[in-house]
Amino acid sequence: MTAVVNPAEAPAGRGAPRRGPRRKLSFDVVSFFVVFLGLPLALFLLFVIWPFLQAGFYALTDWSGYSAEFNIVGLDNFTQLAQDPRFINAVGNSMVFAIVIPAVTLGIALTFAVLLTIGGSGKGQVRGVKNAGMYRVVSLFPYVIPGIAIGLMWRLILDPSSGLVNGILTAVGLDQFQSFAWLGNVSTAMPVVILVVVWGLIGFYMLLFIAAIKGVPAEIYEAARIDGAGRWRMTVSVTVPLIRDNVQTAYIYIGIMALDLFVYVQAMTPTGGPDSSTLVMSQQLIRTAFTEGKAGYASAMGVAMAVVTLVFAAIVFTVNRLTGGKDEKGVS
């Protein structure tokens, strides 16, 4: 008598994939996906993607921003944008900020982070300089101040007639700085803005790099020290390669911020500085939309800003990969 075998109970053949038990969709699973995936995705689509799509649409119109009527003009706004000397100048200024501010800020922040973590005595355990904890707290103070407050504060400090800077310089005998307009001179306006922004951001990125360096096993530094590596060699050959991804992320973040820079520039030079020397893209966009009443044209500027930002991020990723930031398999 031949036994009848239930196919569901039959043993799987050699090489046949095993099927695990199907997971039932319980209320907990569904509610988890709804709350932690569905809701954030809906908010992202509503407040990020949809406004961007709207901006892209209005960039193809002559909408004034104050009327329900507008005409489709196609790519005319972008054609005009490519020939607009004021916007081209703003793009150039933004690119200068995006190159100089990240390089200076991260360079100084990384230097301080190394000093406060592995820059101490060369004997005994690897540690930072004396009173490193106090330096961390003090250096973070500028970052906790809002950017608009920093800009207004430094605008008063640099005031030509009653500012603290000119008062100190003239008090030590440098009479040429009496009534000197730091933000009203083409040669000094942009460097001063860069200096103020760097001053306000160093503390945060220093703490970011300190946290990254603390994640490097102490045994690596001990081995490097035994091999005779000094502080400079440990920084270049050990610290920087091991926190490379943190540096890349910080560079992209601060670079995007520098491409905007509306808060600092608007607080210090509301008109864009002398001869538009500090005018940035976001500042020109706001002026075009709300002062000139050209919302469609301003939307085209916003799209151009988004493209410039994406190109900047792509360049940073490409440079990092070409200089050895990724291995052959593309794994950090």
- Structural domain boundaries of the chain? 80-322
Tens-digit pLDDT profile for residues 58-88: 999 999 888 888 899 989 999 999 999 999 9
Kindly indicate whether the domain formed by 80-322 is annotated with CATH number 1.10.3720.10.
yes
Q: What is the mean pLDDT of residues 166-171?
A: 92
Burial of 242 (0-12, 13-18, 19+ CB in 10 A): middle
CA 314, CA 221: separation in Å to the nearest integer?
33
* CA 327/CA 129 separation, integer angstroms: 34
Query: Does 332 have pLDDT greater than 50?
Result: no
pTM, 2 dp: 0.81
Q: Give the Cα separation of 249 and 233 in Å (integer).
A: 23
Average pLDDT, the chain: 85
Structure-model confidence comparison of residues 124 and 299, the more confident one = 299
* Band (150; pLDDT cuts 50, 70, 90): very high
